[in-house]
Amino acid sequence: MIFYLNPTQFIDTSLPLDLSMPLRATFDNPRAWYVDAPRIEPVRANGFIGSVAEGGAVNFRDIYFNPHGHGTHTESYGHISREIYPVSAVFDQFFFRATLISVVPKILDNGDRVVFADQLEALLSSEFTEAVIIRTLPNQQEKRSANYSGTNPCYFDVGVVALLDQLQTKHLLVDTPSVDREEDNGVLAFHHAFWNVPVEPIKNRSITELIYVPDEIMDGSYLLELQLAHFQNDASPSRPLLYALNEKKD
């Protein structure tokens, strides 16, 4: 379907660009924070077998996973608050103007790979953008199946938040397990600054982690659709979709 955003600009909803990674019951599923592989198992109780392949009438499976550790997920300020604040409460709409950029993290003397504000400022215009999507380089296929636990993955300097504030960005999407360093003694400086915790929490912001942006998707402006399961939890598995912005030709 063709949907016009204004008299000259439109998107084709039949051509979504998927930034999510599927949840698979295998050790090839991306993992972080020392979680085991997800499990998807047929229910077996009182003679019932929830597997057609094993003789059951229907497939009826339990799924065991952690949204933060098992792939693409979106989280709310409730991730770091005493208050229970589900990620579903963040959204009253699901389409956003978005900018996709790619960046090579800087390598510090201690070996940490970090993305800084000055790198992003050179890639982002000064115009308002509701969502910023960051692809880190190199963009290895291994991101789709990596076990990040204990590897000190790339993270983001807290100074990036001031730039996002300037752009009035509400939603940040990254292809790393966290915006903060894997081990930082629980400081979580980026998370706290992004949601302005504990001063006056900004509750209508979200962070989406462990996306994967295929190489064929070019940097630039898009319309983002951010789909997520309606979990009453601080985080939910999610499926970010991009739509190319097309200009009407006379």
pLDDT per residue as tens digits for the range 164-212: 999 999 999 999 999 999 999 999 999 999 999 999 999 999 999 999 9
The answer to whether residues 120 and 152 touch, using CB atoms and an 8 Å cutoff, is no
Q: What are the CB-based long-range contacts (under 8 Å, 24+) for 58-63?
A: 63/23, 63/38, 63/39
Within-domain flag for 172: yes
Within-domain flag for 168: yes
Within-domain flag for 40: no
Structurally, the chain folds into a number of domains equal to 1
**What pLDDT, in 10s, does the model give residues 38-68?**
999 999 999 999 999 999 999 999 999 999 9
The answer to whether residues 229 and 236 touch, using CB atoms and an 8 Å cutoff, is yes
The domain in which residue 82 lies consists of 2-21+67-247
**Helix, strand, coil tally for the chain in percent (to 5):** 15, 30, 55
DSSP assignment of 138-190: S--GGGGT-B-TTS---EE-TTHHHHHHHTT--EEEESSS-SS-S-STT--HH
Within-domain flag for 54: no
Q: Give dist(CA 182, CA 91) in Å, integer.
A: 27
The answer to whether residues 130 and 171 touch, using CB atoms and an 8 Å cutoff, is yes
Within-domain flag for 130: yes
Within-domain flag for 29: no
Banded model confidence at residue 250, pLDDT cuts 50, 70, 90: low
**Residue 94 belongs to a domain with what CATH number?**
3.50.30.50
Within-domain flag for 28: no
Residue 180 falls in which region: left (phi positive, over 0), alpha (psi -120 to 50) or beta: beta
Within-domain flag for 26: no
Torsion angle of C-alpha atoms 119, 123, 125, 129, degrees rounded to 10: -90
